[in-house]
Structures are given as C-alpha cells and as structure tokens.
C-alpha cells in the first residue's frame, strides 16, 4: 500500500489554495468594508476557509466514506494546532529575517504539512479491511 499518493497531495494543495483564497478574500472584504474590525474579520475568514477545507478535503481529497462528529472535532483540533504553529513560526522567521514574504511562505508550508499529515493519518484515515 502506498503511503503517499501524488494525485492526493496535488488535490490537497488545490483545495488549500482555494481555502487560503477564501480566507484572504473575506478578510479583505470584511475589514475594508468596515463591517467588522480586522481582528474579527480574520477570525470569520479563517473559520470560513477552514470549513471549506474540511468539506472538500473529506469528500474530494481523502474521499472519507463516513461523515461523523469525531471528524469535525478532530479537524477543529488539528486546525487549532496548525493555526498556532503557523502564527509562531511566522513570528519567529519574521523576527529573525525581517522579510514578511519569507515568513508567510515558511509558516504556510509548516501548517500545510501539519494539516496534510493530520488529515491523512488521523482525521480521514482509511481503515484497511482484512
């Protein structure tokens, strides 16, 4: 059994790009229209991007057969962890190199790897039938 599937990783990256785009678009829209503060806009936009990611990673990327509450809870915990890893790594790299783009890219790469591994091997783990 192959552990990593190139096509699966490709689909995960595509869904991730769309999720980050949803997050960024809503953050920009809600903040610039002054519907909410930027802090609240970021929380709303992150939740919307994460919800999109959960739905499409479950059904399209990992093709999980069962829909259940433990998946939602596990996904929420995973994204909470990756959110903090993203924020901490971003701040550390930014502090060290003072290059925002590099900090953003490294933080995004770290959280993407955490999210992929957590979803593949924990949240949407396929049960091998004997």
Each residue of 56-93: pLDDT tens digit?
A: 988 888 888 777 888 889 999 999 998 888 888 888 98
Number of domains in the chain: 2
Residue 57 shares a structural domain with residue 90:
no
Range of the structural domain that residue 96 is part of: 68-123
Residue 55 shares a structural domain with residue 74:
no
**Whole-number percent of the chain with pLDDT over 70:** 94
Residue 45: how many other CB atoms lie within 10 Å: 23
Q: What is the pTM of this model?
A: 0.74
Q: Sign of dihedral through CA atoms 7, 18, 48, 104?
A: positive
- Rounded to 10 degrees, what is the CA torsion of 93, 83, 118, 71? 180
Residue 116 shares a structural domain with residue 56:
no
128: in domain:
no
113: in domain:
yes
């Amino acid at each position: 059994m192959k552990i990593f599937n190139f096509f699966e990783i490709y689909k995960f990256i595509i869904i991730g790009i769309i999720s980050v785009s949803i997050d960024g678009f809503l953050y920009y829209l809600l903040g610039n229209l002054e519907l909410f503060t930027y802090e609240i806009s970021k929380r709303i936009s992150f939740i919307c991007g994460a919800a999109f990611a959960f739905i499409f990673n479950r059904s399209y990327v990992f093709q999980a057969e069962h829909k259940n509450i433990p998946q939602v809870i596990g996904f929420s915990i995973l994204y909470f962890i990756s959110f903090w890893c993203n924020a901490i790594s971003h701040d550390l790299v930014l502090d060290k190199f003072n290059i925002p783009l590099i900090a953003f890219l490294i933080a995004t790469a770290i959280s993407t790897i955490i999210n992929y591994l957590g979803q593949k091997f924990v949240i949407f783990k396929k049960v091998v039938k004997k």
